[in-house]
């Protein structure tokens, strides 16, 4: 027998149910008013049709109550949809604290994945069931879109910025992964799978292979690029101390402030002159074209792994070391 395709993909994440309920509510409201309006059009066309060539229509004075009714009711329905949709969107857009972070890079025509322990995958993603997983997604070339139908999750991978997606898979199994944004001639082949394992099976999978973690790879890249010649462990460096910067509010030279999220760290590497930290000179060169998207994620992971700066000058960032031959002084979070 041939395999039957379900009308809707299996709901296999904690967010999938609330997305489906909202979707079916919108469909029900749309269907109700479509039938109501079509029925009224047909009813009025029959009831008030012109019955003879000499018939003249009676003047209509209008009804304030009726006009208020058909204005207020749609307003209330649309506001319900807006508030409900915004609540679902915000829940899906804000990863919970403590989520397992996985890095994903889109590239024509594949998805490259790196886990916190260093495990790497291409066009696959192994995750544990029942655990919050945060994906930090970048693109090396054009716009891609990371789409998991069973999780009701889709986020664009945009060149020049980082995006995030989170989910909590509920049911072990294999689920389709697609690129949902046309990205070139082999777009249709940019597919993969999400493999959800039980917690024990996931630990066994992790033990089956490992490599340098993103933070360790980022530390090596940090040294290779001679970032540690400017960003010292204590005061006195030509660049800001990086300990505790991620997630903090940074004071800029123009008097404004900015939240040091992943995109701020990325911009500070690729375009360090865009936002100058107060008290520092615009000395840092750009690393545009010198660091890959995967390298950027590793640098950001390393910076986020640094312990918070202690009170006073007791910072524990890497001490300065001689720059490798041919290296350009710089960093992974701008001056």
CB 334 within 8 A of CB 263: no
User: Of all helices (H) and strands (E), which one includes residue 52?
Assistant: none
Please state the separation of Cα 184 from the chain's center in Å. 22
The token duo for 272 is 């360090």
**Closest by CA position to 194, among listed 219, 208, 174, 218:** 174
N-to-C CA span, the chain? 64
CB 278 within 8 A of CB 301: no
pLDDT of 5 > 60? The answer is no
Residue 124 pairs in a beta bridge with 193
Question: Residue 319: its pLDDT value, please?
Answer: 34
Question: What share of residues in the chain are helix, strand, coil (percent, to 5)?
Answer: 35, 20, 45
Burial class (CB in 10 A: 0-12, 13-18, 19+), 260: buried
CB 329 within 8 A of CB 230: yes
Cα–Cα distance for residue pair 121/208, rounded to 1 Å: 13
Calculate ∠ Cα 129-132-133, nearest 5°. 95
The token duo for 311 is 């009170």
Question: DSSP code of 96?
Answer: P
Length of the chain in terms of residues written: 335
Range with lowest mean pLDDT among 45-49, 231-235, 286-290: 231-235
Q: Which residue has the tokens 């840092």?
A: 284
Range with lowest mean pLDDT among 58-72, 171-185, 282-296, 320-334: 320-334
Confidence of residue 235 (pLDDT cuts 50, 70, 90): low
- In the three-class reduction of DSSP (H, G, I as helix; E, B as strand; rest coil), residue 187 is classed as helix
Question: Residue 84: its pLDDT value, please?
Answer: 96
Q: What is the pLDDT of residues 17-28, one digit of tens each?
A: 999 999 999 999
Pairing of strands 144-148, 153-157: antiparallel
Confidence of residue 185 (pLDDT cuts 50, 70, 90): very high
Cα–Cα distance for residue pair 280/334, rounded to 1 Å: 10
Q: Does 316 or 235 have the greater pLDDT score?
A: 235
Cα–Cα distance for residue pair 136/157, rounded to 1 Å: 9
Question: Residue 268: its pLDDT value, please?
Answer: 87
Q: What is the pLDDT of residues 108-141, one digit of tens each?
A: 999 999 998 888 999 999 999 999 999 999 999 9
Q: How much of the chain, in percent, has pLDDT values that exceed 90? A: 47
Question: Residue 3: its pLDDT value, please?
Answer: 53
The token duo for 334 is 């701008």
Question: Residue 234: its pLDDT value, please?
Answer: 65
Cα–Cα distance for residue pair 94/164, rounded to 1 Å: 8
pTM as predicted: 0.76
**Domains within the chain, CATH numbers bracketed:** 7-36+64-211 (2.60.40.420), 214-305 (1.10.760.10)
Q: Is 255 left (phi over 0), alpha (psi -120 to 50) or beta?
A: left
Q: Which residue has the tokens 């002159």?
A: 273
Please state the separation of Cα 157 from the chain's center in Å. 8
């Amino acid at each position: 027998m041939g395999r039957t395709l379900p009308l809707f993909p299996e709901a296999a994440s904690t967010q999938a149910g609330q997305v489906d309920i909202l979707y079916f509510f919108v469909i029900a409201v749309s269907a109700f008013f479509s039938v109501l309006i079509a029925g009224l059009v047909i009813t009025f066309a029959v009831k008030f049709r012109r019955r003879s060539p000499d018939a003249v229509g009676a003047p209509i004075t209008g009804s304030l109550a009726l006009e208020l009714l058909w204005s207020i009711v749609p307003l209330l329905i649309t506001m319900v949809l807006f508030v409900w949709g915004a609540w679902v969107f915000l829940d899906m857009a804000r990863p919970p604290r403590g989520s397992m972070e996985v890095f994903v890079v889109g590239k024509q025509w594949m998805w490259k994945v790196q886990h916190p322990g260093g495990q790497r995958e291409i066009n696959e993603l192994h995750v544990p069931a029942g655990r919050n997983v945060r994906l930090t997604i970048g693109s090396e070339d054009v716009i891609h879109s990371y789409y998991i139908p069973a999780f009701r999750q889709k986020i664009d991978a945009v060149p020049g910025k980082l995006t995030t997606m989170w989910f909590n898979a509920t049911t072990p199994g294999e689920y389709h992964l697609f690129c949902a944004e046309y990205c070139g001639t082999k777009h249709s082949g940019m597919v993969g799978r999400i493999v959800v394992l039980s917690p024990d099976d996931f630990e066994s999978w992790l033990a089956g292979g490992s490599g340098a973690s993103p933070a360790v790879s980022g530390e090596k890249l940090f040294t290779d690029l001679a970032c540690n010649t400017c960003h010292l462990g204590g005061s006195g460096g030509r660049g800001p101390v990086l300990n505790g910067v991620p997630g903090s509010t940074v004071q800029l030279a123009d008097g404004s402030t900015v939240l040091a999220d992943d995109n701020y760290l990325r911009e500070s590497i690729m375009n360090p002159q865009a936002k100058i930290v107060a008290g520092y000179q615009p000395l840092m060169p750009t690393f545009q074209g010198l660091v890959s998207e995967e390298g950027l994620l590793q640098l950001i992971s390393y910076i986020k792994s640094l312990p918070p700066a202690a009170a006073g000058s007791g910072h524990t960032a890497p001490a300065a070391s001689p720059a490798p031959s041919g290296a350009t002084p710089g960093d992974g979070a701008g001056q």
